Amino acid sequence: MPQAVPKRISVVDVERCVGCQCCVFACARRIGVGGTADARIDVRSAGGMRKGFVVIVCRACPDPPCARVCPTDALTPRAGGGVIFRDAACIGCGNCREACPFGAVLWDNEQRKPMICVYCGVCASFCPYEVLAYEETKEDDDAPVRHAG
Amino acid sequence: MPRSDMPADRFGRVLHVDLAKRRFEIRDRRDLFRESLGGAGAAIRLLEENGGLSAEPQDPGNPIVFAVGPLVGLYPMASKTVAMFVSPHNGRLGESHAGGRSAVSIRMAGYAAVVLTGASSTPVYLVIHDHGVEFRDASALWGLENSYTVGRVMREREPGSGARSILRIGRAGEVGVTYACVITETYRHFGRLGLGAVFGGKKLKGIVIVGRGRVPVADPKRYRAHYDLVFQAATRSKAMRKYHDLGTPINVLPLHELSALPTRNLREGSFEGAEAISGEAMAKRFLGRRLACAHCPVACVHLAALRTRHPHEPYFFSTAMLGYDYEPMYALGSMLGVADPEAMLRLMDEVEIQGLDAMSTGVVLAWGTEAVENGLVSLGELDGTALSWGDADAYRAAIRKIVERPTDLYRAMARGVAYAASVYGGEGFALAFGGNEMPGYHTGPGGYLTFLTGSRHSHLDSAGYGIDQSALGEGELPPPEEMIRQLFREEAWRQVLASLVVCFFARGIYTPDVVCEALAIADEGLFTDESSLRRIGQDALARKQRFNEVKGYDLTESNMPERIFETRTPWGKLDRGYMRTALIAASELWGHVDEPREHADTSSG
């Protein structure tokens, strides 16, 4: 049986984002809670709402800097891009948060550990305006340009 | 600072802030929120408990309550914040609801309500987070000419982008224009009844609320399944599509066609410029972006992109993004005879810059224009600004003068149309009900009875304009007593929605069954059924009406400006007999409303 191609979240048209944050709440709901504290995705205004929004979510880099700076291998590269997080190995040093230029390593202030996207796509399925897409990664995807968020 | 040991994720923490002493306290009021749900029901109780019944609007002690509901952060379209205070505009219950991000931010910061008392001696703004409050000096922000700048400075100075709400006032609130608003997220407002002036009186320039929180549920599977149901209804229903596509301005053309669009101070009910300022035309020409309140997929907020050429530099342009909605378009468009949508947008921009309520401002200016025509006020009293229908430049200048108040006339106009007419005359065309300037619905008796009997004199209280319009199909209005019963029932149910802080646009989705299931999921101890919900709604309404009675409102002495009887509605001329009978019926019904249940004050902390 062929192995499933890994998937990722792509911000395909941030200009259509209305800032409803339905994706944020959807991400928290994935683990069975309401609110925003547990979300691995964030939506912020682009400097006042008149300028629209930015969506901050792991783009599943082919060569992820967060994994490179992890001293305990709690974060390891995933085949096809992105990372896999092993909570037990994490010492909460915060290097990964510093390394991600998008700010997509969100932080759990209680556990003092990163909150890492698991590429499940629930956020995209609750985006009412097709800002987000859940799509397959490509092997040679070394310059994905559509992360406009 | 004292804090309660109550976990932040349980709904019912109330943050009390004393602006005079610059202290705060967090109290566990799960008792109060259990009984009242939250929102409007909780706010009226907190207003009573914190001195609202005896406070005068200008008292430093006039409390401000912000309350949210148990579904906030859990369910979509439950993202309104209810504000209550003693209104400086009509001296009665001040109640105003705003969308935006404040409700989610308040809950995510761990609170069910925020109560502000006392007045600061120097300008201040607050930063509210899960540990309480920080008091920030706002003396440099006080007196800034443009409310947009205030928002920008607070946004840039404070952390929490994406997880916060920024409330602020403009000059109008600082100087105490009684219909000054509080602006939130630039495009939403606590618009009506003068919350901005209460902020100003407390030297409170703004509030930043920041928080990321978790709302646990006992049964995640059941929660997800029910959430999906509500979400699907929100994204697929026709009713929501209407707000999503064109926004509230979709109402302009139908109301114009019905002769229900107040025009030139309601001398007419239809407007030759309706086409030009219709939701359809605005979308075609100006729509530049749409926005949503937090956790609402509908995105009814529509922004116009307005390009302005610099007067002296031919290749220099600026582009403003201006929010437009039906009510400001009626008040600053048809009501003033302004048919040029660009000019109308510039008036809306000026109202925003000053931090005024657009509806009251438009009605005040419409009265002023007619007062000039009738010789009740002179050009001198108007400080040389000759108001005339459609003259947007004059109106724009007058909006600034309402805030600057260079003459006695502007000082009077800064207190609303009822007051201005009591001084200068023209009561017959001063279009206020219960001291609040009219909304844009000249639909018939139902609409006006809502303005008169509604506990906050808002069209949204009991939506009689909806009964007027739907009855047109049947060709017959309900008899006055029945009309009042329908309005009462609607207003009582809307207290339930306003206590959950569900947006009224979503009222068709949040049926009693949906609400009961959502509440059971939010808190398994909060089992309820439709009749209990309705009792909670009636209790909230009774408390609000009692509050108004204490403040001296007598339904049977309601003032109805002559103008509403002169201009034909879709039902022909309003029938005085119908209105009188209905008001007597309302007065009797209100008198028979059960006294609100008392509850023990078990506050701790």
Kindly provide the ipTM of the predicted complex, given to two decimals. Answer: 0.94
- Chain A residue closest to B156 (CA)? A47
Residue with tokens 């880099």: A61
CATH code for the domain defined by B247-409: 1.10.569.10
Average pLDDT value for chain B: 94
- What's the Cα-to-Cα distance from A70 to each of A8, A81, A103, A111, B119, rounded to whole Å? 21, 16, 16, 17, 51
> What percentage of chain A carries pLDDT values higher than 90?
84
Collect all residues of chain B within an 8 Å Cβ-Cβ radius of residue A45.
161-162
Which of B282, B262, B93, B117 minimizes the C-alpha distance to B201?
A: B117
Which pLDDT value is given to residue A2?
A: 60
Number of H helices and E strands in chain A, helices first, is 4, 9
- The 3-state DSSP class for residue B306 equals strand
State the Cα–Cα distance between residues B135 and B19, nearest whole angstrom. Answer: 9
Mark yes or no for CB contact B217/A36 under 8 Å: no
- Main-chain dihedrals φ then ψ at residue B256, nearest 5 degrees: -60, -45
From the candidates A17, A24, A36, A130, which should be mutated to test the interface with B, based on the most B CB atoms within 10 A?
A36
Mark yes or no for CB contact B162/A43 under 8 Å: yes
Collect all residues of chain A within an 8 Å Cβ-Cβ radius of residue B506.
none
Local confidence band at A139 (pLDDT 50, 70, 90 cut-offs):
low
Shortest distance, CA A138 to any CA of chain B (angstroms): 31
Is the distance from CB of A63 to CB of A77 less than 8 angstroms?
yes
Taking the alpha carbons at both ends of chain B, their separation in whole angstroms is 10
Stretches where chain B sits below pLDDT 50 are 1-4, 598-605
Which of B417, B499, B512, B495 minimizes the C-alpha distance to B460?
A: B495
Give span(s): CATH 1.10.569.10, chain B: 247-409
Of B104, B187, B216, the CB nearest to A49: B187
Which pLDDT value is given to residue B10?
A: 78
A6 pLDDT higher than 50: yes
> What percentage of chain B carries pLDDT values higher than 70?
96
Longest dimension (CA), chain A: 50
Give span(s): CATH 3.60.9.10, chain B: 13-210
Backbone conformation region of residue B126, classed left if phi is above 0, alpha if psi is from -120 to 50, else beta: beta
Give span(s): CATH 1.10.599.10, chain B: 437-591
Q: What's the token pair of residue B529?
A: 């059924």
From the candidates B154, B215, B243, B503, which should be mutated to test the interface with A, based on the most A CB atoms within 10 A?
B215
Is the distance from CB of A67 to CB of A83 less than 8 angstroms?
yes
Which residues sit opposite B187 in a β-bridge? none
Is the distance from CB of B147 to CB of B48 less than 8 angstroms?
no
Is the distance from CB of B197 to CB of B174 less than 8 angstroms?
no
> Average pLDDT in the A66-82 region?
97
Would you state the CATH architecture of domain B437-591? Orthogonal Bundle (1.10)
Sheet with B182-184, strands from edge to edge, namely B132-137, B124-129, B204-210, B164-168, B182-184, B188-190
Which run of H or of E encompasses B488?
Answer: helix B480-500
Which pLDDT value is given to residue A144?
A: 45
Mark yes or no for CB contact B220/A22 under 8 Å: no
CATH code for the domain defined by A1-57+117-138: 3.30.70.20
Longest dimension (CA), chain B: 69
Which pLDDT value is given to residue B594?
A: 56
The CATH number corresponding to B13-210 among 3.40.720.10, 3.40.1180.10, 3.60.9.10, 3.40.50.980 equals 3.60.9.10
Strands B204-210 and B124-129: parallel
Which residues sit opposite B569 in a β-bridge? B572
Which pLDDT value is given to residue B505?
A: 93
Strands B113-117 and B13-18: parallel
User: Is the Cβ of A21 closer than 8 Å to some Cβ of chain B?
Assistant: yes
Collect all residues of chain A within an 8 Å Cβ-Cβ radius of residue B73.
25, 34-36
From the candidates A16, A17, A18, which should be mutated to test the interface with B, based on the most B CB atoms within 10 A?
A18
Mark yes or no for CB contact A35/B294 under 8 Å: no
Mark yes or no for CB contact B299/A20 under 8 Å: yes
Local confidence band at A92 (pLDDT 50, 70, 90 cut-offs):
very high
Q: What's the token pair of residue B183?
A: 């602006």
Is the distance from CB of B255 to CB of B444 less than 8 angstroms?
no
